[in-house]
Amino acid sequence: MSPGRWIGRALVVAILLFFALFFAVPIVWLLLAPTKTAGELLLNAPFSAGTFDTLIANWNALVAFQNGIVWTWLGNSVLYSGAALVVTLLVSIPAGYALALTEFRLRRALLMLTLVVMLIPNTALVLPIFLELSAVRLIGNPLAVILPFSFFPFGVYLTYIYFSTSVSRDLLDAARIDGAGELRVFVKIAMPLATPVIALVGFFNLVGNWNNYFLPFVAAPGRKSPIQVGLVELLSNVPLFNPTSSASVTISLPVLALATIVSVAPVLVIFLFSQKFLVSGMTAGGTKE
């Protein structure tokens, strides 16, 4: 190997190692933090491990906060994200199929509108959505979060790209010649072929909805909040971050770190069990048959 190529590979390895450490170090610290007391977290070495008994004590403190409201927050997140996921799949997959493989008036205009809406930041839509929800008196109702969460133009476009590049029109035409209607063609042929992209759209929608903070903060206050909004309430009870807090119950930093892990764990578990479909969905559509 020439010196130039050796230096190039060494540089690539160094950059990759840097970014691996950049992402891995905070995760390792977060996993070790709940095993310590508040004093140990501040005074001991950053990557020193605590004890299992301390972890149990921090867990009990988290569960005892406001009579176990963390379970309510998690339940709300599951309800909002799960219901929105079902609606998203029922709408996005047929919409992407129709845009890719059928001809109708205003098809190109709808596709361009989908692309334009994808470019609008979600935070910019919170105020008009809030005003609309307030006009129909849905603030505080689970539908105030579920319905906006179900609006997923990126999923429509991703499905459109997949059906345009990875599904043969001749195969669908053959089914139509054999007497299959459009609904049967979509359900029996197109849907089984689109399993990878369905998994990918579902995962992206679920992660985005689970981590969404701003809209649930204004549309679902109080005990109807999801876990991401609940984390902010926990943060407001940490004296280090809110010295003016006069709450009778205070949350320590290790308990807050444990709550963060709990909020991430469901999505992480889903990711670990769906890697096969996600990888195939990401690579699908890369070539045109």
Residues 205 and 92 in one domain: yes
- 158 with 31, same domain: the answer is no
Give a yes or no: residue 151 inside a domain. yes
The answer to whether the beta carbons of residues 89 and 201 sit under 8 Å apart is: yes
Domain span at residue 158 reads 66-283
14-57 residue pLDDT tens: 999 998 888 889 999 999 999 998 888 888 888 888 889 999 99
In whole angstroms, what is the distance from residue 47 CA to residue 22 CA?
A: 15
Q: Give how far Cα 131 sits from Cα of 116, 137, 139, 165, 214, Å.
A: 22, 10, 9, 39, 14
Give the number of domains in the chain.
2
Q: Are residues 126 and 266 in the same domain?
A: yes
Asked if residues 274 and 203 have their Cβ atoms less than 8 Å apart, the reply is yes
Which of 41, 60, 79 terminates a domain? The answer is 60
- Taking only the tens place, the pLDDT of each residue in 256-288 is 999 999 999 988 888 887 776 666 555 554 444
13 and 131 inside one domain: no
Residue 216 lies in a domain: yes
Type of residue numbered 73: W
The contacts of residue 85 (CB under 8 Å, 6+ apart) are: 202, 205, 206, 209
Mean pLDDT along residues 67-93: 93
Residues 111 and 38 in one domain: no
Same domain, 154 and 170: yes
- Identify the band that residue 205 occupies on the pLDDT scale cut at 50, 70 and 90: very high
Domain-located, residue 47 = yes
The whole-model pTM stands at 0.84
CATH number for 194: 1.10.3720.10
- On whether both 21 and 143 belong to a single domain, the answer is no
Q: What is the pLDDT of residues 94-144, one digit of tens each?
A: 999 888 888 888 888 988 998 888 888 888 888 899 999 999 998 889 999
